[in-house]
Structure formats: structure tokens, C-alpha cells
A and B are shown apart, each in its own frame.
Chain A
Amino acid sequence: AQKVTQAQTEISVVEKEDVTLDCVYETRDTTYYLFWYKQPPSGELVFLIRRNSFDEQNEISGRYSWNFQKSTSSFNFTITASQVVDSAVYFCALSEGEFGNEKLTFGTGTRLTIIP
């Protein structure tokens, strides 16, 4: 069975600090996809990244970076030089299967608060 664990329930950092959100997953499939979504108070899940199980390269997009390590089943997300607009709940999710758009299993989310 697939499972996603986000052990950090809430994190608060002062603006401009770096912050890392942890994500650990469990799956028996060899082909799977990992996602990160941001959820502001409005409720919409905003897509941040999608990574398949065969691509372990780390990725950087502006102030965001992701560290995928199959050996530890982790897909961690780092925000560099945090800003108040980064305050939100962040979800890590897993999709098994070759297409990567089947059922998503979400973690319980990490509420990130950036203090001005």
C-alpha cells in the first residue's frame, strides 16, 4: 500500500531564512510519481513539481529546490530566502503507475508560516 508521511505538522521561520519540508513515502511499485502542492487559505491546490521514480536529479526553480533520494524514500522541498507569500500548507503526494495521473495519495501536510 502506498503511504506518504510528512512528519512536520507546523513550521515557523523568520522571513529570509531557508526552510526544508520533509516528505517520506512508501510504495511497492518501481514506477511512480511524486508531487508537491501548495495550498493557500483559498483552498486551491497549486502544483509545484512532479517527478518520476526514474529521475533522481535534484531540481531547482527559483527559490525552490527539491531533493529526491530513492535510497531513503524521501522527496524533500527547500525554500531559500523565504518570503511571507510562501506561508501556506504544503502537501507531498504519491501516484503509483506509469502515467502519474492515477490516484494521488497525500501526506497530512506541513503548515508553513513565514514571520515578517
Chain B
Amino acid sequence: ETGVTQSPTHLIKTRGQQVTLRCSSQSGHNTVSWYQQALGQGPQFIFQYYREEENGRGNFPPRFSGLQFPNYSSELNVNALELDDSALYLCASSFQAGNTIYFGEGSWLTVV
């Protein structure tokens, strides 16, 4: 039990639609990161938020966007969904001071 919860756990969307994934961080963790994990691959870094500001971004197009709220919960939004967006989306939280990074169970997104 990591204290990081994600919703929804599974969802199916149609190509071209938009999706919002949510993450509730472990209490006191002010840093949240999102990762995309395609089938059979390692997780790929999408972006990180620290105290509500974007603090680094991976090689993902602008249609991937995010938010972090004052309570440090977070959202990942993906617009204009493509078939290749089908993946497990993982949220990770940590307290920025060299502590451990904890992951949630992820949201399985299928785009048809």
C-alpha cells in the first residue's frame, strides 16, 4: 500500500476523444510525476509537477497536459486520443528532498 491512488482503473475511449486521469498523492508529497507504460515496455516519463508548477517534461506532444492542485492531487489530460495512446498510465509521488518515489496502481487506457 503506497498511499498513491489513481482513477479510473480501466477505461476505453474512442480515437479523437479526450481523457482525464486522476491521482491522489501520498500525504505530504509535493511532487507528482506521470509515466506512460506501453505493453511490454518500461515506463516513459511524461512530466512532473512540483508545488503546482511543471518541473520537467519528457518527449510527449502538447496534447498531453497536466495539473497539480493545492492539495497536491493531480490530473493527466490527453486530447485527440490516438490508438498508440493505449497504455498503462502511472502516477508517482514523492517529497522533494531525496526521498523514495511511490507509484500508484495505474490507469489502463484502451483507445479503439
Taken residue by residue from 15 to 51, chain B's Cβ proximity to chain A (1 for < 8 Å, 0 otherwise) reads as 0000000000000000101010000011111001000
Nearest CB in chain A: distance from B109 CB, A: 12
Task: Contact check, A47 vs B102: say whether CB atoms are below 8 A apart.
Answer: yes
Measured as residues with beta carbon below 8 angstroms from the partner, the interface class of chain A is 20 to 34
CA distance A43 to B104 in the complex (A): 9
CA distance A106 to B40 in the complex (A): 13
Task: Contact check, B2 vs A44: say whether CB atoms are below 8 A apart.
Answer: yes
Interface centre among A42, A91, A102 (most CB of B within 10 A): A102
Task: Contact check, B43 vs A104: say whether CB atoms are below 8 A apart.
Answer: yes
Total chain B interface residues with beta-carbon distance under 8 A: 30
B78 at the interface (CB under 8 A from A): no
Identify B99's interface contact among A4, A46, A101, A108, CB under 8 A: A101
Q: Which of B60-68, B69-77, B88-96 contacts A (4 or more CB under 8 A)?
A: B88-96
- A52: which B residues are within 8 A, CB to CB? 98
Task: Contact check, A99 vs B43: say whether CB atoms are below 8 A apart.
Answer: no
CA distance A91 to B31 in the complex (A): 21
- B56: which A residues are within 8 A, CB to CB? 102-103
Nearest CB in chain A: distance from B90 CB, A: 7
CA distance A44 to B3 in the complex (A): 12
Task: Contact check, A100 vs B98: say whether CB atoms are below 8 A apart.
Answer: yes
Task: Contact check, A101 vs B45: say whether CB atoms are below 8 A apart.
Answer: no
What 8 additional pairs, Cβ within 8 angstroms, besides A98-B98, A104-B33, A104-B101? A37-B103, A42-B105, A44-B103, A44-B106, A91-B43, A102-B55, A103-B56, A109-B41
